[in-house]
């Protein structure tokens, strides 16, 4: 094949691509991740053209959208069908599906930069499926893949079909304004697998760091990075620090407009942890509305399906467009039930008031048909109809969800699990009879296993007789104890490997060799990393200390990486602490959950003035899904039998 230049083959690549990257983000810094990612996607849907005041392109162009499964999940919580129509998208397809030609219409591709996707793009171009192809990759496309794209279209004489190529840096899923997931599955297993080799660990760390880079690029911020010494958190922080340093050397970089002197006072702190920092929270029962809905009903990508009142399944969307969800998501379930009743009574009162003014019947369902009275009242009633109808739909939705939840709570005694786990974590233990009473009482096999593991983590020392009684009780309930045995093994090895825990982990080989030690140290941290007396999570307390930026023995040993500072100062525990910080990004490697997210948001709202905290993780896990990962690790150590593979997660 004759030599070629990427710039010659894709003339737009060099000019449009760099220009797009430079002007992508506004200069005002605000960590509203959902808004910023949505703006990037809308710009992409409009062929990366500048948008007018209405949020659309000046020239309306009808187009087709092609995406892969991963990017479909990115779009799903942010963009609805009506939004696609608004921005001229008439048809949308998965890239791996057979598609028929649609001539004279451009196609917008939004896919991960993979060999498979590049081959499909080349095939589409060679078949002239669409008038032109606007390629948008979710992260930076490696040069070898870009060369494959160029050579493939060159050989098929379809280079002219490629209109533009963009790196969008959007390879993460934003679920709420302050919540995101990298959607990287089974990270906890991969990082704690005793058989994992150096190359495998490096690949995982690189993937996590790349995902975090995408988040920072979308926010257009270069944070100060803090993390504990040793383990996955330090490794990811180090790789991310180097990525940011390398990128900042480029004149037209993604952060070029955010690097002024004034902005240095507004930089956020990025706090990186790994799941072993506070293991118990990954499997704890929570009695607040949002965590309950996620854990019990399987909320995924802000959607869930529950049995309807008249049979069949009802699908609901739970996001920022639902005012009840936003206002009450982190209330205890009984408070939510009271709020639903309050909203229903208020709705009925407003309907009665409208009917009274228009001569209707008190207590009648407001459907707009029983309207009489003067013109003014009639017009007011008509104008209030859409708002009242929407309120009723929201009330009906949450009434149905709460009814299903209540059935699960009663059947499994979830309120008892949540209360006893909280008490156990505050006190650091539980009475033996009370413990066995829970394990022999109501609840699923997984409920009992989660409770038993939390007891194991909370106990500062293992009581052999109590552990034996727990195992007997679990076996009587036919519970697979792989996960329990794994945590017990980690605790029992703590003393003998204590020296390994404190050994140097300056390079990846050293850390991989002491992988067990990292797990054991965190699992047996005792009451230090449990709930405080005010039931604030250890993660939240640590983030609060890091945001204050003052000398604090709990965080003084944390490493500092500042990509804008000289390289010699990075990766050290410095007494010169930067802060206080008004904004923070908290990232959990190995799986996060809504309990931690809620705790951080409550902390941020309590501050005066209010602070801003974004929470992210490699994947959002229910308690069941996290215990399944512990089970896999137990199996890898030969501690139990096989179980079903984990359910899909974010």
Q: Using 50, 70 and 90 to split pLDDT, how confident is the model at 362?
A: low
| Range of weakest confidence among 250-259, 437-446, 493-502 | 493-502
CA distance 364 to 366: 6
Q: What is the pLDDT of residue 365?
A: 58
Q: What is the pLDDT of residue 386?
A: 80
Pairing of strands 132-137, 106-111: parallel
Q: What is the pLDDT of residue 308?
A: 80
Q: Three-class SS string for 453-495?
A: HHHHHHCCCCCHHHHHHHHHHHHHCCCCCHHHHHHHHHHHCCC
The structure tokens listed for 97 are 């599906």
Q: Using 50, 70 and 90 to split pLDDT, how confident is the model at 519?
A: very low
Q: Is the pLDDT of residue 438 over 90?
A: yes
Q: Which helix (H) or strand (E) holds 8?
A: helix 6-9
Most confident of 53-57, 83-87, 640-644: 83-87
CA distance 127 to 158: 8
Look at 288 and 2; give whichever has higher pLDDT: 288
Strands of 179-181's sheet in order across: 173-176, 179-181, 612-617, 583-589, 269-274, 224-227, 559-561
Please tell me whether residue 315 adopts helix, strand or coil conformation. Answer: strand
How would you class 248 by CB atoms within 10 Å of its CB: exposed for 0-12, middle for 13-18, buried for 19 or more? middle
CA distance 573 to 9: 49
**Cβ neighbours of residue 53 closer than 8 Å, sequence gap 6 or more:** none
Cα dist. 606→75, 579, 610 in Å?
A: 32, 19, 7
Query: 273 near 588, Cβ under 8 Å?
Result: yes
Query: 188 near 275, Cβ under 8 Å?
Result: yes
Q: What is the pLDDT of residue 566?
A: 85
List the one residue out of 220, 166, 214 whose CA is nearest residue 15: 166
Q: Using 50, 70 and 90 to split pLDDT, how confident is the model at 444?
A: very high
Cα dist. 355→372, 390, 605 in Å?
A: 9, 18, 40
Q: Is the pLDDT of residue 231 over 50?
A: yes
Q: Is the pLDDT of residue 531 over 70?
A: no
List the one residue out of 400, 326, 399 whose CA is nearest residue 605: 326
What φ, ψ does residue 304 adopt, rounded to 5°? -150, 160
Conformation bin of residue 178: beta by default, left when phi > 0, alpha when psi is -120 to 50? alpha
Q: How many CB atoms lie within 10 A of CB 493?
A: 17
Q: Using 50, 70 and 90 to split pLDDT, how confident is the model at 521?
A: very low
Place of tokens 């005694």: 413
| Range of weakest confidence among 72-81, 314-323, 527-536, 583-592 | 527-536
| pLDDT tens digits, one per residue of 381-413 | 667 778 888 999 999 999 999 999 999 999 999
Q: What is the pLDDT of residue 570?
A: 65
Percent of the chain with pLDDT over 70: 80
Give exposure, 501-518, as e/b (b: 16+ Cβ within 10 Å): beeebeebeebbebbbbb
Q: Is the pLDDT of residue 360 over 90?
A: no
The pTM assigned to this predicted structure is 0.87
CA distance 228 to 239: 15
Please tell me whether residue 203 adopts helix, strand or coil conformation. Answer: helix
How far, rounded to the nearest angstrom, does the alpha carbon of residue 560 sit from its chain's CA centroid? 24
| Range of weakest confidence among 3-17, 149-163, 213-227, 579-593 | 3-17
Q: What is the pLDDT of residue 494?
A: 57
Q: What is the pLDDT of residue 378?
A: 62
Please tell me whether residue 107 adopts helix, strand or coil conformation. Answer: strand
Question: Residue range 281-285: average pLDDT?
Answer: 95
Query: 620 near 290, Cβ under 8 Å?
Result: no
Q: Is the pLDDT of residue 16 over 90?
A: no
Q: What is the pLDDT of residue 582?
A: 92
Q: Which helix (H) or strand (E) holds 415?
A: helix 414-427
Look at 108 and 573; give whichever has higher pLDDT: 108
Place of tokens 């095939």: 123
CA distance 253 to 405: 49
| pLDDT tens digits, one per residue of 84-99 | 999 999 999 999 999 9
| pLDDT tens digits, one per residue of 461-515 | 778 888 899 999 999 999 999 999 999 988 877 544 444 444 333 333 333 334 4
Please tell me whether residue 316 adopts helix, strand or coil conformation. Answer: strand
Q: What is the pLDDT of residue 606?
A: 92
List the one residue out of 638, 639, 636 whose CA is nearest residue 481: 639
Look at 379 and 247; give whichever has higher pLDDT: 247
| pLDDT tens digits, one per residue of 550-561 | 888 989 999 999
Q: How many CB atoms lie within 10 A of CB 47?
A: 19
Q: What is the pLDDT of residue 60?
A: 80
**Cβ neighbours of residue 547 closer than 8 Å, sequence gap 6 or more:** 269, 579, 580, 581, 584, 611
| pLDDT tens digits, one per residue of 120-135 | 999 999 999 999 999 9
Percent of the chain with pLDDT over 90: 63
Angle between helices 375-412 and 414-427 in degrees, nearest 10 = 70
Query: 481 near 447, Cβ under 8 Å?
Result: no
Q: What is the pLDDT of residue 344?
A: 94
Q: What is the pLDDT of residue 191?
A: 95
Mean pLDDT of the residues in the chain: 83
CA distance 42 to 75: 10
Q: Using 50, 70 and 90 to split pLDDT, how confident is the model at 274?
A: very high
Q: Is the pLDDT of residue 6 over 80?
A: no
| pLDDT tens digits, one per residue of 563-581 | 988 887 666 655 455 678 9
Q: Three-class SS string for 47-106?
A: CCCCECCCCCECCCCCEEEEECHHHHHHHCCCCCHHHHHHCCEEEEEECCCCCCCCCCCE
How far, rounded to the nearest angstrom, does the alpha carbon of residue 144 sit from its chain's CA centroid? 30
CA distance 136 to 141: 10
Q: What is the pLDDT of residue 533?
A: 42
Q: Using 50, 70 and 90 to split pLDDT, how confident is the model at 3?
A: very low
Q: Using 50, 70 and 90 to split pLDDT, how confident is the model at 53?
A: confident
Counting every residue written for the chain, the total comes to: 650
List the one residue out of 268, 261, 233 whose CA is nearest residue 547: 268
Question: Residue range 349-369: average pLDDT?
Answer: 67
CA distance 190 to 188: 6
Name the H helices within 133-288: 143-155, 187-192, 198-219, 231-248
Question: Residue range 163-171: average pLDDT?
Answer: 95
Q: Using 50, 70 and 90 to split pLDDT, how confident is the model at 280?
A: very high
Give the torsion sign (CA, 427, 233, 168, 16): positive
Q: Is the pLDDT of residue 352 over 60?
A: yes
CA distance 151 to 127: 16
């Amino acid at each position: 094949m004759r030599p070629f230049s990427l710039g010659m083959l894709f003339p737009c690549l060099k000019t449009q691509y760099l220009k797009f990257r430079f002007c992508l983000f506004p200069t005002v810094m605000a960590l509203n991740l959902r808004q910023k990612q949505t703006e990037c996607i809308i710009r992409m849907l409009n062929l990366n053209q500048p948008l007018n005041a209405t949020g659309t392109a000046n020239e309306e162009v009808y187009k087709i959208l092609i995406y892969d499964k991963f990017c479909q999940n990115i779009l799903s919580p942010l963009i609805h069908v009506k939004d696609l129509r608004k921005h001229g998208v008439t048809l949308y397809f998965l890239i791996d599906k057979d598609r028929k030609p649609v001539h004279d219409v451009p196609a917008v591709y939004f896919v991960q930069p993979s060999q498979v996707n590049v081959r499909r793009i080349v095939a589409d171009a060679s078949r002239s499926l669409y008038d032109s192809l606007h390629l948008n990759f979710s992260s930076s496309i490696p040069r070898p893949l870009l060369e494959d794209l160029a050579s493939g279209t060159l050989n098929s004489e379809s280079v002219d079909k490629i209109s533009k190529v963009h790196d969008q840096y959007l390879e993460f899923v934003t679920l709420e304004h302050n919540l995101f997931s990298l959607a990287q599955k089974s990270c906890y297993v991969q990082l704690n697998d005793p058989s994992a080799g150096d190359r495998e660990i490096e690949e995982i760390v690189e993937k996590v760091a790349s995902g975090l880079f995408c988040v920072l690029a979308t926010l257009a911020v270069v944070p100060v990075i803090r993390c504990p010494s040793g383990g996955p958190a330090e490794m990811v922080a180090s790789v991310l620090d180097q990525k940011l340093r390398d990128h900042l050397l480029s004149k037209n970089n993604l952060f070029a407009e955010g690097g002024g002197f004034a902005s240095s006072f507004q930089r956020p702190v990025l706090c990186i942890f790994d799941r072993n920092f506070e293991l118990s929270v990954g499997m704890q029962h929570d009695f607040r509305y949002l965590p309950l809905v996620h854990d019990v009903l399987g909320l995924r990508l802000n959607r869930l399906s529950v049995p309807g009142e008249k049979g069949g399944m009802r699908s609901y969307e739970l996001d920022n467009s639902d005012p009840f969800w936003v206002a009450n998501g982190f209330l205890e379930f009984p408070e939510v039930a009271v709020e639903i009743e309050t909203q229903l009574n208020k709705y009925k009162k407003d309907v009665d008031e409208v009917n009274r003014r228009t001569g209707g019947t008190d207590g009648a369902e407001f459907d707009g048909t029983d309207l009489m009275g003067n013109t003014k009242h009639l017009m007011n009633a008509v104008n209030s109809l859409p708002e009242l109808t929407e309120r009723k739909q929201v009330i009906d939705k949450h009434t149905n969800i709460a009814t299903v939840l209540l059935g699960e709570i009663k059947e499994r005694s979830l309120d008892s699990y949540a209360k006893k786990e909280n008490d156990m974590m505050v006190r650091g233990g539980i009475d033996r009879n009370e413990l066995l009473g829970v394990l022999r009482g109501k609840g699923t096999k997984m409920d009992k296993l989660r409770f038993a593991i939390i007891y194991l983590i909370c106990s500062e020392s293992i009581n052999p007789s109590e552990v034996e009684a727990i195992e007997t009780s679990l076996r009587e309930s036919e519970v697979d104890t792989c996960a329990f045995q794994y945590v017990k093994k980690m605790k029992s090895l703590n003393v003998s490997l204590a020296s390994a825990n404190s050994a140097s982990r300056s390079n990846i080989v050293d850390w991989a060799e002491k992988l067990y030690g990292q797990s054991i140290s965190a699992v047996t941290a005792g009451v230090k990393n449990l709930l405080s007396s005010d039931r604030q999570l250890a993660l939240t307390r640590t983030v609060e200390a890091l945001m204050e930026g003052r000398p604090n023995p709990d965080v003084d040993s944390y490493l500092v990486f500042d990509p804008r500072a000289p390289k010699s100062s990075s990766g050290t525990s410095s007494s010169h602490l930067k802060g206080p910080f008004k904004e923070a990004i908290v990232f959990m490697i190995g799986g996060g959950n809504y309990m931690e997210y809620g705790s951080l948001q409550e902390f941020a709202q309590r501050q005066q003035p209010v602070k801003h905290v974004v929470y992210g993780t490699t994947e959002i896990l229910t308690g069941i899904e996290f215990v399944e990962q512990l089970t896999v690790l137990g199996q890898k150590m030969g501690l139990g039998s096989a179980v079903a593979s984990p359910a899909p997660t974010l």
